[in-house]
């Protein structure tokens, strides 16, 4: 059992509708920045409760475009957690700015209590990552953003459908990035991403950066990039957006099963926090002797994942900073991601729980 099996299972279940949407797109003769992209942008904006959405090639590009449109570049700093996919940090480095890594709290998200001490004249943005689908403490982060006049950016790559105080993640920051990688809550069968914002002025800049820097009459006004969400992926996403809330309900149901049935005081389960709707892109447990448990699970046919085995500040391009982030390193060394995709068989859940309880 591996995580990558889920996208194919989803495809086979919805094959008829997905192929029908693809066929309509191919028959239309319009493959770039046409009807499907525009409609998906509007539909996703409505789902998130924001004014603007821009479809792009992937979430890494989305974050880069956001930062560049804010004017982030050389000699600037951006604050972010180290406990995230390396793409978050790479997007910052690609602008020429320096990532300033912050440790995490007990919800595994950026520790807001540590941010203010890292802010200086070079700080141009704060990125919060809703890791695993657990929303960050957005009220506190917005307070810090307002107090220091530093824009807040949300990385929602794992949190599509998550909510904070009954509002969707991706609607709190000045801008947010979203991923549609095949294993994500809202996915396509390839790469895809989006940017969401309520800022009209920032939206106008980001539209240019998405496509060569073009303004009116294809006259390049800034040095942009080529990062477009294509029509086929947009047609798939429009269909999958209709199913996302059902899929998240399934994820939450599986998470509840784990919470109710894992009875082992040596295993730490994800926190449930009031006023935060966790969409459970991942269900991550923490324990010692991780490798021994993985071996036991492997013998039973369960090949589980680790997110993330090597934190960003320990990777080769950043390790020269000699930074120690105790909580980040602890979770990286002692965590396992349990299967939580919609459609997982109950008997497999029971087997996994039994192994965990006997460990």
The domains of the chain are located at 5-241, 244-358
Token pair 């957690």 is found at 81
Residue 321 pLDDT greater than 80, yes or no: no
Separation of alpha carbons 354 and 359, rounded Å: 9
Q: How many CA atoms lie within 13 A of 45 on its CB side?
A: 19
Nearest residue to 178 via CA among 210, 211, 152, 155: 155
Residue 320 pLDDT greater than 90, yes or no: no
Give 45-75 pLDDT, tens digit per residue: 999 999 999 999 999 999 999 999 999 999 9
Return the pLDDT at 116.
97
Return the pLDDT at 3.
47
Which range (171-175, 184-188, 321-325, 326-330) has the least confidence?
321-325
Return the pLDDT at 5.
76
Give 68-115 pLDDT, tens digit per residue: 999 999 999 999 999 999 999 999 999 999 999 999 999 999 999 999
Cβ-contact 69, 222 below 8 angstroms: no
Mean pLDDT of 161-169: 98
Residue 260 pLDDT greater than 60, yes or no: yes
* Torsion from C-alpha of 233, 189, 204, 50, nearest 10 degrees: 100
Distances in whole angstroms, Cα of residue 99 to Cα of each of 46, 214, 313, 354: 32, 29, 9, 42
**Percentage with pLDDT > 90 across the chain:** 93
Under CATH, what is the fold of the domain 5-241? 3.40.640
Cα 223 from chain centroid?
26
Q: What is the largest CA-CA distance in the chain?
A: 67
Separation of alpha carbons 344 and 278, rounded Å: 19
Q: Rounded mean pLDDT of the chain?
A: 96
- Residue 126: band (very low, low, confident or very high) from pLDDT cuts 50, 70, 90: very high
Mean pLDDT of 198-224: 95
> What number does CATH give the domain 244-358?
3.90.1150.10
């Amino acid at each position: 059992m591996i995580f990558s099996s889920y996208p194919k299972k989803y495809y086979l279940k919805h094959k008829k509708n997905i192929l029908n949407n693809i066929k309509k797109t191919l028959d239309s003769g319009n493959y770039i920045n046409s009807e499907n992209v525009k409609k998906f942008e509007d539909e996703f904006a409505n789902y998130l409760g924001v004014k603007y959405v821009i479809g792009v090639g992937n979430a890494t590009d989305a974050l880069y475009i956001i930062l560049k449109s804010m004017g982030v570049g050389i000699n600037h700093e951006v604050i972010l957690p180290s406990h995230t996919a390396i793409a978050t940090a790479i997007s910052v480095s690609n602008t020429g700015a320096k990532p300033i890594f912050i440790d995490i709290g007990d919800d595994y998200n950026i520790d807001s209590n540590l941010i203010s001490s890292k802010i200086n004249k070079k700080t141009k943005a704060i990125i919060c990552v809703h890791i695993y689908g657990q929303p960050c403490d957005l009220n506190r982060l917005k307070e810090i953003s307002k107090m220091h006049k530093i824009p807040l950016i949300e990385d929602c790559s794992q949190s599509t459908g998550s909510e904070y105080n009954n509002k969707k993640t991706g609607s709190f920051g000045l801008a947010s990035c979203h991923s549609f990688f095949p294993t994500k809550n809202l996915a396509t069968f390839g790469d895809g991403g989006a940017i969401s914002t309520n800022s009209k002025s920032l939206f106008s800049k980001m539209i240019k950066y998405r496509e060569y820097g073009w303004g009116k009459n294809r006259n390049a006004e800034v040095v942009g990039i080529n990062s477009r969400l294509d029509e086929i992926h947009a047609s798939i996403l429009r269909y999958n957006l209709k199913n996302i809330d059902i899929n998240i309900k399934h994820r939450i149901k599986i998470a509840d099963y784990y919470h109710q049935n894992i009875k082992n005081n040596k295993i730490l389960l994800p926190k449930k926090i009031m006023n935060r709707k966790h969409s459970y892109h991942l269900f991550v447990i923490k324990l010692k002797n991780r490798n021994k448990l993985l071996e036991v699970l492997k013998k039973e046919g369960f090949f589980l994942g680790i997110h993330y085995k090597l934190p960003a500040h320990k990777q080769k391009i950043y390790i020269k900073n000699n930074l120690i982030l105790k909580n980040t390193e602890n979770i990286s060394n002692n965590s396992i991601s349990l299967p939580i995709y919609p459609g997982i068989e109950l008997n497999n859940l029971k087997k996994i729980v039994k192994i965990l309880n006997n460990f």
